[in-house]
Amino acid sequence: MPDSISCDVVLLPNTELSAKALSASQSLAQFDSLFTIDNNDFYAHSSLYMLELKTADLDKAVTLLQTIAKQLQPISGVATRYDQKERFIDAEYEVTAELSQLQMQVINTLNDVRNGMRAKDKERMLSATGVALKNFQQYGYKPVGELFRPHITLTRFNDEPTNAQSVLPDVATFSGTFDRLALFEMGDNGTCVRKIAEWNLS
């Protein structure tokens, strides 16, 4: 295992919502997608914090997140729209006080543990300005605070199709419950490819 890996702290959808994400991702495969959610190699998830961690610090990160998870109840998400850009297609969720507070709790807990920045975020920081630049400087991650955009990514395409959303159900279908907190190792395209730890929220 390398000395450092890119990780994602995420909320995982419950069985019903996860199945809907899997079905939608499979439907989008006809448009030459780069990955399909199967909850084995590519997991349906909503990201809270992407960060670089030393492998030697993984156990510490797991312990810190476990403490947070013990305090949490399952979280309801209200899906508001599909967002399609940079060849990604996402089901986007309303930003609630509950989600925002959880994100900041996770970030404030792990920010001192992170190992610098993910390589992709180092590149993005070069052209960042304003709030985005401040977030990179303070947290090593852009979508924080007013830039936080909770979502489930359904897939990413090789080329941007114009009619992909035509095969998807009404976005309200993706309103549902997130019942687990988890830490994953990341793959390409923001995917969660290896589960490091998971906690049920109760």
| Domains of the chain: total | 1
pTM: 0.96
Contact between residue 177 and residue 76 where contact means Cβ atoms under 8 Å apart = yes
Q: Give the span between the Cα atoms of 194 and 165, in whole angstroms.
A: 28
Measured CA angle at 189 (ends 150, 201), to 5 deg: 40
| 135 is a domain residue | no
The answer to whether residue 160 is domain-embedded is yes
CATH number for the domain spanning 56: value is 3.90.1140.10
Which DSSP category does 33 fall into?
B
2 pLDDT higher than 90: no
Note down the domain range covering 189.
4-117+150-200
pLDDT at 1 over 90: no
CB 60 within 8 A of CB 45: no
Provide the pLDDT for residue 90.
Answer: 98
Cα 95 to Cα 66: distance, rounded to the nearest angstrom: 23
**Residue range 36-52, pLDDT digits in tens:** 999 999 999 999 999 99
Give the SS3 label for residue 125.
helix
